[in-house]
Structure 1
Amino acid sequence: MFNRKHRAQARIIWRWVVNLWRALILGKDHVLPFVNVFHLTHRCDANCTWCSQREVIGEEEHPELPHEKLRIVLLRLFKISPALYITGGEPTMHNELVPLLKLARELGFWPITVNANGLQLYRFPEILQYADRTVVSLHSHDTHLQCKILGIRPRIVFRLITNLRAFRRLAEDHGNKLFINCVLSSENVHWATAVLKLCILNRTPLTINPVIIDRKPALETASVTMRQEYQAFLDLVIKQKKTHPWVITNTRRYLMQTRNFGSFHCRPLCIMCVNPDGTVQNPCRAKYPYVDEVLGSLLKEEALVLLNRGLNFKDSFTGCKHNCCKTCFVEPALSLAHPFSAIMSFVH
């Protein structure tokens, strides 16, 4: 693991340096991806009220791949970046998830992250063994509210909450980590402090991000009272970031940015999103409406080939009228806009 991690870190740091040059010195719009985001499936066993993938859940336009084709996709993703983020849909619904994690480790990916709703985690403990980071969704400590948000039965949620400590220990036994992801909306912001306390009690790191609807934070247009409650919670989170850095995985600058819904210089290609069938998505249809929805297939050609064909890497930076505040866009953008803060966050 030592060699796998440090080789990957060296590549990621060098990618950041090159992207920093392109962004700050050359003023280019497109950079090369830091992270491969692989939507392993578009199936899901939940029905979240504000799912960011709702428009594709259940669609069959991008069918899932068998293991031999997944290997081809991973080999080509690794040439782009060693960082692999597996999501969905719900990735635990794909039969090849665990074999895929084993293969990713063999190929040298790090960090390998699985973002799951956690409902089936008890059935697949191997995920905690082979994923460097497992991210589980928990939007409220209250069973009934969590059920309402996810659209599932209380018994399943209760099992998840009661097993969190055991899941964390299992991950740590294999040198890995379990994280909690809390998405904030008007439904649960009042209860978010309890989730934070639960994470501290269970020694489980927490990630915070706001619900995004129509490419903007839903809480930005909420009532004054609701926005004040949201900002008060973010103030508490920022304070915890100072006193107990391990509790909060977001950077302090990101937390301050999303607290005030501030604008940022978005470069969507900081992440490369891949569909279940191995096709690469347009980095952002809102910012690049003139670019094809799908850039090409990793089963047919290398990622750099299809990126260079679909995007003009000579384009100068242009702003975006949207302010979606998605973590996967904001964090990389802030690391390029504020390199000293990024270095300090990496060191700590």
Structure 2
Amino acid sequence: MAFQYCSIVVALFSVANAAFTNKIACADGIHFATHEACCALFPILEDIQENFFDGGQCGEEVHESLRLTFHDAIGFSLSQGPSGGGGADGSIAVFASVETAYHANGGIDDIVHAQAPYIATYNITPGDFIQFAGAVGVSNCPGAPRLEFLLGRPFPTAPAPDLMVPEPFDSVTKILARFADAGFSPAEVVALLASHTIAAADHVDPSIPGSPFDSTPAVFDSQFFIETMLNGTAFPGTAGNPGEVESPLPGEIRLQSDAALARDKRTACLWQANVNDQTHMAGSFKAAMAKLAVLGQDVSKMVDCSEVIPVPPKLTSRAHFPSGITRKDVNQICSLPFPTLPTDPGPVEPVAPVPKS
């Protein structure tokens, strides 16, 4: 019996070892990867987590790095072909003097300049670094999905053209049309806007820098979708544009485009579907980001290094109405039932700005 038991243990060890040895030992003697090319990412990961993301915090650099992944990638057009830009190619870093001057890219020069030393230090293309830093940064936010990362973007050859990035004051029709020209459906547009749950605005209103889009900017949760649906002070709009609906929460900023998408019949139910459904919100965001991150790229020539991206912390909070808010404060356009949510106890507290590091 002892011999039989020993044989079983050896067999199980062999199976486990065989599975493990499918990975290649990296030259550093510490890490393993399914593809040797991914080994080069581990020192970059450790450096940016410690020195760029403040030891793995979901803060300002994460917000800005995620924003940069979008602003670089969306410079892509199905209708314009090559003249529509190279997509997720790092052109916003290589041709920074051109692209950061575009109106829609206002303020993005800060994160471009902050990332530049890392791109210069490591053997990685600008397009790869931008998307890698964005995926790593998001992994620091509780509740976020573990984003995919494919390695192998070539150097860009030209800047993306102007007017490719949707702006906060664009109409829903204009926003959906721009995204459609880049290959995204309305559902994917709403999915990508989950990024605003860990975001803040510095330049939409320069008088209130660091204003977050929801009350929990360091957590990837559905509060953004809830709070954008709340009634607020309405400002008159123009033809084809419903105008701004200011957040009722002090210290929180609401983009006009977010308010409009939450209230437009084409997107209202897509928006509401994220309320109190963390699995749906995280899953749809991950899928849309995977598509965004390789816009304009030949995926067949890239290597999947998603295993290098850390696993994000689990979400421990639950969806809720902020203090003083109840179901009657929801401006609901979708005809589907709105989820039942608790209201935070206590007095209404101002939403704190996201501090600069």
Structure-2-length-normalised TM-score: 0.26
Structure having the larger proportion of residues in helix? 1
Pick the structure with greater CA Rg: 2
Structure having the larger proportion of residues in strand? 1
Structure-1-length-normalised TM-score: 0.26
